[in-house]
Amino acid sequence: MYFVSRAMRVFLAGAVLFGISAVLPAAGHSQRHSLTDPNATFPEGLSSVAGLRELSDGRIMVSDRLGQAIMIIDIDAGVADTIGRSGQGPGEYRMPGPLFPWRGDSTIMLDLGNTRFTYVGPDGGFGESVPLMSQEGDMMRFVMPAGTDRLGNIYFQARSFGLQSPGASGPPDSARITRWNLWDSSSAAVVALKTPDRKMQSGGGNVMIASIPFSPQDDWAVGWDGRVAVARSADFHVEWIAPNGSVVRGATVAYDPAKITEADKEEWREARSNLQGAMFIAIDGGGGARATTAPSRGARFEGPQIDDDDWPEVKPPFPAGAVSVTPEGSMWVRRHVKSGGPPEYDVFDARGSRIYTIVLPQDARLAGFGTGVVYVTRSDEFDLQWLQRYDRHWLNNR
């Protein structure tokens, strides 16, 4: 969502093993499996799990964005140690976000409130912090890490903003994924993606731009081996881009589009009006730039009015943020489903072939992966999130 006036603000905004039941597939479809009973549940509710990564000893590092905490959790023992504290100085963070694996069992922690990322050691000690924004001539470069690999690369969706003339035309309809090596400062474009269609309105000297609800867009993630997993929305297929640039393209996946209901529209409006933790970048006419986050629930960012004519009739195959990659190198793509249905993920192998569909419990969300396991959070009636672990060894052996 974008708002432009004299200042430009950008809102960046198995059959059957433990925990799994299987259903025989219909002809032409992948097998469907449902996560049933977790093999571990953390006994304390969390506020908003924003990042999770499993350490080599089986413990997990978890960032709780609204709870303002980073914890190292032993889910089997049911205990957690909080590391660092809320603040702006060394060893501190504000609204901790996604966590990405780094060399030597260390972690890159995205610190949204302080607009930086920070290295965290396997012992929980905090190292150097790197700003998310840097100036290059008349352009302000914004690097939001979205993946890492074992070669010391950080991957991000490239965004640059002009400081002298922000303009009112809005962002292009495509974006590029960039690979940035921290050791030699080299960078390279990896792949171009389709971005959502947008609506722009102007009046009173203001220009407002917002994404069309349920507009098709591509999505991506990175494996630890450096392969980039891409889901294409136009005809729903997936691709693997290797570090050398070679591409493996899967076949087009047949699916039945889910119709958009009034419940879907209401859910979208609710999300739009509650932006706690959302990030804003403001660039003023004098060339200054800063980033802020919405501090509390109920914060609202005004954009163009979305009329009934703006809504498509059906949902695209998948939403934003749909793609994840397991440690073993398979691709999970969250699917758009009918309103009220449980979350579903299609699983693709290294050839881009769909091999399974995984159904999560109702009110569950994928939080991350570990060796042979998947972590999910389940929300209760009090909006607390309960962290659970499910076995998936059987998936890797079939």
Alpha helices in the chain (DSSP H): 262-272, 393-396
Burial group, residue 160, by CB count within 10 angstroms (0-12, 13-18, 19+): exposed
pLDDT digits (tens, 9 = 90+) for 229-277: 999 999 999 999 999 999 999 999 999 999 999 999 998 888 776 655 5
Domain 2-396 CATH superfamily: TolB, C-terminal domain (2.120.10.30)
pLDDT digits (tens, 9 = 90+) for 4-60: 332 322 333 332 233 434 333 433 456 899 998 999 999 999 999 999 999 999 999
Lowest mean pLDDT among 99-113, 215-229, 296-310: 296-310
pLDDT at 318 exceeding the cut of 70: yes
pLDDT digits (tens, 9 = 90+) for 148-180: 999 899 999 876 544 444 444 444 567 899 999
Q: Where are the beta strands (DSSP E) in 171-260?
A: 174-181, 187-194, 198-203, 206-211, 219-222, 228-232, 237-241, 247-249
Domain boundaries, the chain: 2-396
d(CA 67, CA 51): 12
Alpha helices in 220-344 (DSSP H): 262-272
Backbone φ, ψ for residue 126 (5° rounding): -95, 140
